[in-house]
Amino acid sequence: MGKYIDINKVLEATIEVPQKYWEVEELMREKPNFDKSVGSKKIYERKEYAIYKVKHGYIVHNTKKNFEEGHTHIHNYNKAKSIIDLAVRKKTPNTPRQWEIECLLRIVKDEKYKKKLRSLLLELK
């Protein structure tokens, strides 16, 4: 069982911090430079694509593109893997939906494949 200390005793205690630690205080307060969502964790990777588990679903990211331009949000893990599979193989979905095509357009770099996806998107509208 833990031992409890009176709060007044804790408040009275002072701790001397050596000067060398004060010199790096600002460095210690800086946030790390993360370019992904806070709390995200990479859970899958295939070729240049990665899936990150985030608070509300998953993020599919093309690591060869800037994060802001080359990611998309997906609710379902299996659908996220399916999106990556389609992108790697440069295929179109069997039953294409507008949101699926738009997700693929965000993450792929191949212009020929993008043109194919855009024409499919126009057919759906």
Over range 18-22, report the average pLDDT. Answer: 75
pLDDT at residue 42 in the model = 92
pLDDT tens for 34-68 read 445 566 789 999 999 999 999 889 999 999 999 99
Domain locations along the chain: 37-124
Q: For residue 30, name the pLDDT band (cuts at 50, 70, 90).
A: low
pLDDT, residue 53, reads 93
pLDDT digits (tens, 9 = 90+) for 103-124: 999 999 999 999 999 999 999 8
Q: Where are the alpha helices (DSSP H) in 23-108?
A: 25-29, 77-89, 98-107
The CA-CA-CA angle for residues 54, 57, 59, to 5°, reads: 65
Q: What pLDDT sits at residue 7? A: 75
Q: What is the pLDDT of residue 48?
A: 95
| N-to-C CA span, the chain | 67
pTM over 0.75: no
